[in-house]
Amino acid sequence: MVSPSFPALRMRRGRSAPWIRAMLAEHRLHPTDLIWPLFICDGKGCEEQIPTLPGVSRWSVDRLADKAREARDLGIPCVALFPNTPAGLRSDNAGEALNADNLICRAIKAIKDAAPEIGVLTDVALDPYTAHGHDGLVDERGCVKNDETSAILVEQALVQAATGADIVAPSDMMDGRVGAIRAGLEREGYCDVAIMAYAAKYASAFYGPFRDAVGSRGLLKGDKRGYQMDPANGLEALREVALDLAEGADMVMVKPGLPYLDVVAAVKREFGVPTFAYQVSGEYAMIEAAASAGAGDRDALVLETLLAFKRAGATGVLSYHAPLAARLLSEG
C-alpha cells in the first residue's frame, strides 16, 4: 500500500473546526470513567483538611452521605474508601482492620444508605491500622510477613464484604493474597463481590500526601520496597497481572498513574481485561502546585491527564480530581 503524502494528505483538515475535531476524536472521557477516593476520619460533623493535598479533606462518617449523593449526581459510578484510624486503635497486629464497626465499615453503611446506586470499593491492606505503617505484619527484622499477612487480609476483605463493599481492592502486594481472598469470598457466599487487584503497584515517591491523609507517614519505619515493585521494572508488571488474574482478580490496577502509562498500555494490550490506573496523591498535588504557581490551567491539566489514561487503554481512573472532572465534563 502506498501511503499518501503531502499535499494529497493534509492532517490539519481534521483539526480545522470543533465539529470535525469532535467527530474524529479517538477517545473520550466520561464521568463513568472515574472512581473517587474518599478519606474518612473519626468524630462527628468533621471536615479535616490535608495540607499536602489541597482541596481534599477527610470527612467524618456522618458527612459521607452528602459525598455519596454528590458522586451519584455527578455520574461517578464508584467511590473508594480510606480511613484515618485514630492513633489509639493502631497496633502491631492491626486488629482494628477486622472490627466490623471500624471507620471503614461505618462508612460503607453510610454510603449504601445514602446512595445505593453507586459502588463502594474498599482497600485491603493493613497500613491504616498498624502502629508501624506497613501494609502487613512485621517480623523481628522489620520484614513484612507474607502468608501471615495474607491470612489477615482475607478476614479484612470478608468483614468489608459482609458490610456491603462491592469491590475489594488488595493494595498490599503480598504474594498469593488475591487467590486467598477469592477463595474466602466463595467460601462465605460473597461470590458477587469483585476483586480489583492492585496488581502492579510500585514503591513510589508519589504516595506522600496519601500517607498524610491516612496518618501513616510519621509512623512508617523504613520503606515498602520489600513488597511494592521496583520502578525500574515493566515486564515484571505483566507477571504480576498474570498471577492476579489467574488467582481470580476481576480487574487489575496499575499505580501510580501518569509516570506508568507505559505499564497501563502494556497490561491492556497483553491481557485485554478491565485495567484501572490510580492517579495517586502525589500526582494530584503536582497538578495543584502547578496550577497554583500559574504554570498551567487547573481544569485543562486535569482533563488532559485523565484523557491520557484513556488513550493508554485504561478502563477507568481513580483520581482525587474525579468530582472536578465530572463537573467539567457535564458542563461540556
Active site residues: 201, 255
CA distance 323 to 332: 14
Cell of 116: 445505593
Residue 114 vs 305, nearer CB to ligand PBG: 305
> Is the distance from CB of 228 to CB of 202 less than 8 angstroms?
yes
Cα 57 from Cα 39, distance rounded (Å): 7
Q: How far is the CB of 198 from ligand PBG (least distance, A)?
A: 7
Q: Going residue by residue from 125 to 144, which x/- string records binding to ligand PBG, judged by CB under 6 A? A: x-x-------x---------
Number of residues that bind ligand PBG (CB under 6 A): 12
Give the residue, chosen from 84, 102, 122, 281, that forms a contact with ligand PBG under the rule CB under 6 A. Answer: 281
Residue 166 contacts residue 251 (beta carbons within 8 Å): no
CB of 257 within 8 A of CB of 279?
Answer: yes
Rounded to whole angstroms, the Cα distance separating 132 from 282 reads 22
Q: Which is nearer to ligand PBG, 163 or 279 (CB)?
A: 279
Question: Which residue, 135 or 247, has its beta carbon nearer to ligand PBG?
Answer: 135
Distances (CA, A) of 71 to 37, 58, 248, 332: 11, 16, 28, 18
Among 123, 212, 244, 247, binds ligand PBG (CB under 6 A): 123
DSSP codes of every residue in 23-68? HH-S----GGGEEEEEEEESSSS-EEE-TTSTT-EEEEGGGHHHHH
Enumerate residues 170-199 that contact ligand PBG by CB under 6 A.
Answer: 171-172
C-alpha to C-alpha distance for 212 and 50, rounded to whole angstroms = 7
Rule CB under 6 A: say whether 280 interacts with ligand PBG. yes
Instruction: Supply the minimum distance, in Å, between the C-beta of residue 292 and ligand PBG.
Output: 19
Q: Binding to ligand PBG (CB under 6 A): which residues in 252-271?
A: none
> Would the annotation count 240 as a binding residue?
yes
Binding to ligand PBG, residues 203-232 (CB under 6 A)? 207, 210-211, 224
| Minimum gap (Å) between residue 169 Cβ and ligand PBG | 8
- Cβ 15 to ligand PBG shortest distance, Å: 35
The answer to whether 86 and 42 are in contact (CB under 8 A) is: yes
Binding status of residue 105 toward ligand PBG by CB under 6 A: no
**Residues found near ligand PBG in the complex (CB under 6 A):** 123, 125, 127, 135, 171-172, 207, 210-211, 224, 280-281
Which residues belong to the annotated binding site for Mg(2+)? Answer: 240
- Residues tagged in the binding site annotation: 240
